[in-house]
Chain A
Amino acid sequence: MNERRMLDDSHYENLIEEESVCINENLVYDKPETLTKTPMHYCPGCGHGVAHRLIAEVIDELGIQEKTIGVAPVGCAVFAYNYFNVDMSEAAHGRASAVATGIKRVLPDRYVFSYQGDGDLAAIGTGETIHTCNRGENILIIFINNGIYGMTGGQMAPTTLEGMKTTTTPFGRDVQAMGYPLKITELIAQLPGVYYCSRVAVNTPVHVRKAKKAIYNGFKFQELNKGVSFVEIVTNCPSNWKMTPVESNKWLEEHMLPFYPLGDLKLPGKEN
């Protein structure tokens, strides 16, 4: 592990203060208050950074930083608690929605979100995911789907597309042997405990704006106490897809989105 990643916020606060050119007069764009100054460890071009920023912007805009508790997964976002400037709990692999349940049940007036990847949410944590949604826990689940295990180095995920090469499917995912890519969001949307379910992406400016709206809804709906808000964000993994960031976003558009189509799967008041 690169030591640079692990330095705490104060180190960077000092650093940035000393070398800052962002004087107030010039400032047109800044980090949200809900992001710490810690530089992210994510690979260049990875969608996690955008997803983090959108969540932080929404928390700022709703003014709920003091009332928000996040749950980080195991996976690339395991260090999410270094970046979100809110109270955070780091869950065991796959258990984030159970941890979020525990928090929300004893602190029902707080805003609680879990942030989980495809391996975490749709493989090892499938049971917790389904039952948290089925109980209608009043939380927001953010599901980052890039079709691959990032942190462990590019193995097959439950959402890996048919024929897609990973380190554990070196000849491409053979669905006869390895099963089919799991559309867990479609499953989730069927459950009466789910109030809002949407699939978004962050690969283009238009998609980013729609993703932010979905995340906004997910937090806002917690005030209604009507059940789970579930937002899938289809993202890229340039490093493990072995592509440049631009190539990966193009590949996402051409291969991921036809299989994982964007849009609301469940909207309050509209039965699908």
Chain B
Amino acid sequence: MKELKLMKGNEALAEAAIRAGCDAYFGYPITPQSEVLEYLAKEAYARTGMVVLQAESEIASINMIYGAAGTGKKVMTSSSSPGISLMQEGISYIACAELPCLIVNVVRAGPGLGTIQPAQSDYFQAVKGGGHGDYKLIVLAPSTIQEMVDHTKLGFELAFKWRNPVMILTDGALGQMMEKVELFPQTERKFELLPWATTGKTKDRGRSIITSLYIQPEVMQEKNLHLQKKYKSIEREEIRFEKYKCDDAEVVLLAFGLVARICKKAADLAREKGIKAGVFRPITLFPFPYEEVNTLADSSRIFLTVEMNAGQMLEDIRLAVNGKIQVDFTGRMGGIIPTPEEILEKIIEINEGVPA
């Protein structure tokens, strides 16, 4: 029987982490994601024995993740934008040491201390590598509370499949709002001794060393080539996206996360006005569906990217389209969520300006 619940995004994500068999959570309070830590502190240990620890800072959290992930356990942290900025050094280390873990960014508007309202302005940071060096996170962008749940489970699977940190890039609105979710059953926590993990050197294997230090340039280059090869494989195998009424669409709205839902409404409104509109939603932001966006440009007249930032995914859309058609942008910043009506206005304005 389906287990349906009305849940807040942050709490649903925390519940999903427990059910996914997460071994440990290390985190630090920050609005608008503190409910993740609060929910886990209340629920997790009693139910599964999961470790939940409030660290003294995000810097400490991510380094606890580094240590714990190095043992092969299923570990996660969550934060919001300024806190994720603090974690970037550690994330770079984790990516280089190839440790599986789940990092959740419930984005709030920046820059600086910014505001506690929702935004998508950490796209570059998440997708282009927010820390130093050439590395990639696998980035999942849920657009519903259901996906907050499903991506938590998927995130752990991908993290271990690729030995790579996975980030869920969501926002303050999805974190705070309530929706109906279907929960998956409890997965039993199992501890598997992984050959690369620091669990204690036994007679049957050499030492496990978790490090990101390769001081000889030739060896460091080798490491980089290996990482790049892995990222290419991820690009081949893990691209996920959703198309909404794209088959006959002349105007395609391109958006991720929460904004994609608003765009669906805007596309419906446009269709009522006789404009054939659709929505393309990347679910994985890395790997990014470049090819699919490029192909879609062949059958469309207008691309309109909509984001809660100054136009960040827009750059990837333009790279994908490679000049085939015009790519417009509309968005809101500072914690304001765009309305379907204002997106519709923009659609009408562009539609009139671009010849058929």
Residue of B nearest to A110 (CB): B200
> Is the beta-carbon distance between B70 and A103 smaller than 8 angstroms?
yes
Q: Which of the listed residues B24, B60, B212 has the most CB atoms from chain A within 10 Å of its own CB? A: B60
Which among A68, A88, A128 is the interface contact of B210 at CB below 8 angstroms?
A88
> Is the beta-carbon distance between B57 and A102 smaller than 8 angstroms?
no
Which among B68, B90, B201 is the interface contact of A103 at CB below 8 angstroms?
B68
Question: Is A248 an interface residue, CB under 8 A from the partner?
Answer: no
Residue of A nearest to B70 (CB): A89
Which of B48-56, B296-304, B316-324 forms contacts with chain A? B48-56
> Is the beta-carbon distance between A102 and B200 smaller than 8 angstroms?
no
> Is the beta-carbon distance between A128 and B60 smaller than 8 angstroms?
yes
Which of A90-98, A157-165, A181-189, A262-270 forms contacts with chain B? A90-98
**Residues of chain A contacted by B219 (CB below 8 angstroms):** 6
> Is the beta-carbon distance between A90 and B212 smaller than 8 angstroms?
yes
Question: Is A101 an interface residue, CB under 8 A from the partner?
Answer: yes
Question: Is A78 an interface residue, CB under 8 A from the partner?
Answer: yes
Given contacts A87-B200, A90-B209, 14 further A-B contacts (CB under 8 A): A1-B215, A66-B201, A69-B198, A71-B67, A81-B207, A81-B209, A89-B66, A90-B213, A92-B93, A101-B53, A101-B67, A107-B199, A128-B60, A131-B60
Which among B23, B67, B207, B216 is the interface contact of A100 at CB below 8 angstroms?
B67
Question: Is A252 an interface residue, CB under 8 A from the partner?
Answer: no
For window 15-74 of B, CB contacts with A under 8 Å fall at 23-24, 26, 51, 53, 55-57, 59-60, 63-71, 73
Question: Is A45 an interface residue, CB under 8 A from the partner?
Answer: no
For window 149-197 of B, CB contacts with A under 8 Å fall at 197
Question: Is A105 an interface residue, CB under 8 A from the partner?
Answer: yes
CB distance from B155 to the nearest CB of A (A): 18
Residue of B nearest to A90 (CB): B211
**Residues of chain A contacted by B208 (CB below 8 angstroms):** 87-88
CB distance from B292 to the nearest CB of A (A): 37
CB<8 Å pairs between A and B, sample of 9:
A69-B71, A72-B211, A81-B209, A81-B211, A90-B213, A99-B67, A101-B64, A102-B68, A128-B59
**Residues of chain A contacted by B89 (CB below 8 angstroms):** 92
Q: Give Cα distance in the complex from A177 to B213, angstroms.
A: 35
> Is the beta-carbon distance between A3 and B216 smaller than 8 angstroms?
yes
Q: Which residues of B contact A (CB under 8 A)?
A: 23-24, 26, 51, 53, 55-57, 59-60, 63-71, 73, 75, 89-90, 93, 97, 197-203, 207-213, 215-216, 219
Which among B24, B56, B97, B209 is the interface contact of A102 at CB below 8 angstroms?
B24
Question: Is A116 an interface residue, CB under 8 A from the partner?
Answer: no
**Residues of chain B contacted by A69 (CB below 8 angstroms):** 71, 198-200
Q: Give Cα distance in the complex from A105 to B23, angstroms.
A: 10
**Residues of chain A contacted by B93 (CB below 8 angstroms):** 92
Q: Which residues of A contact B (CB under 8 A)?
A: 1, 3, 6, 65-69, 71-72, 78-79, 81, 85-92, 95, 98-103, 105-107, 110, 127-128, 131
Residue of A nearest to B90 (CB): A92
CB distance from A272 to the nearest CB of B (A): 25
A95 and B71 contact, Cβ closer than 8 Å, known pairs A78-B213, A110-B200: no
Residue of B nearest to A87 (CB): B198
> Is the beta-carbon distance between B200 and A103 smaller than 8 angstroms?
no
**Residues of chain A contacted by B56 (CB below 8 angstroms):** 127-128, 131
Task: Tally inter-chain residue pairs, CB-CB below 8 A.
Answer: 131
Q: Give Cα distance in the complex from A100 to B249, angstroms.
A: 55
**Residues of chain A contacted by B216 (CB below 8 angstroms):** 1, 3, 6
CB distance from A213 to the nearest CB of B (A): 25
> Is the beta-carbon distance between B53 and A87 smaller than 8 angstroms?
no
Q: Give Cα distance in the complex from A67 to B203, angstroms.
A: 11
> Is the beta-carbon distance between B51 and A95 smaller than 8 angstroms?
no
CB distance from B154 to the nearest CB of A (A): 22
**Residues of chain A contacted by B57 (CB below 8 angstroms):** 127
A102 and B198 contact, Cβ closer than 8 Å, known pairs A1-B216, A85-B207: no
A102 and B66 contact, Cβ closer than 8 Å, known pairs A65-B201, A66-B202, A131-B56: yes
> Is the beta-carbon distance between A102 and B26 smaller than 8 angstroms?
yes
Which among A1, A6, A105 is the interface contact of B51 at CB below 8 angstroms?
A105
What 5 pairs between A and B have smallest CB-CB spacing? Answer: A102-B67, A99-B67, A102-B68, A102-B64, A98-B63
Residue of B nearest to A36 (CB): B207
> Is the beta-carbon distance between A99 and B63 smaller than 8 angstroms?
yes
CB distance from B161 to the nearest CB of A (A): 20
Q: Give Cα distance in the complex from A90 to B207, angstroms.
A: 13
Which among A66, A68, A81, A92 is the interface contact of B63 at CB below 8 angstroms?
A92
> Is the beta-carbon distance between A98 and B68 smaller than 8 angstroms?
no
> Is the beta-carbon distance between B68 and A66 smaller than 8 angstroms?
no
Which among A6, A68, A95 is the interface contact of B60 at CB below 8 angstroms?
A95
> Is the beta-carbon distance between B212 and A89 smaller than 8 angstroms?
no
**Residues of chain A contacted by B55 (CB below 8 angstroms):** 98, 131
Q: Which of the listed residues B26, B69, B70, B90 has the most CB atoms from chain A within 10 Å of its own CB? A: B70
> Is the beta-carbon distance between B209 and A88 smaller than 8 angstroms?
yes
> Is the beta-carbon distance between A95 and B70 smaller than 8 angstroms?
no
CB distance from B199 to the nearest CB of A (A): 7
> Is the beta-carbon distance between B63 and A102 smaller than 8 angstroms?
yes
CB distance from A156 to the nearest CB of B (A): 23
**Residues of chain A contacted by B211 (CB below 8 angstroms):** 72, 81, 88-90
> Is the beta-carbon distance between B198 and A103 smaller than 8 angstroms?
yes
**Residues of chain B contacted by A67 (CB below 8 angstroms):** 200
Which among A66, A68, A99, A110 is the interface contact of B64 at CB below 8 angstroms?
A99
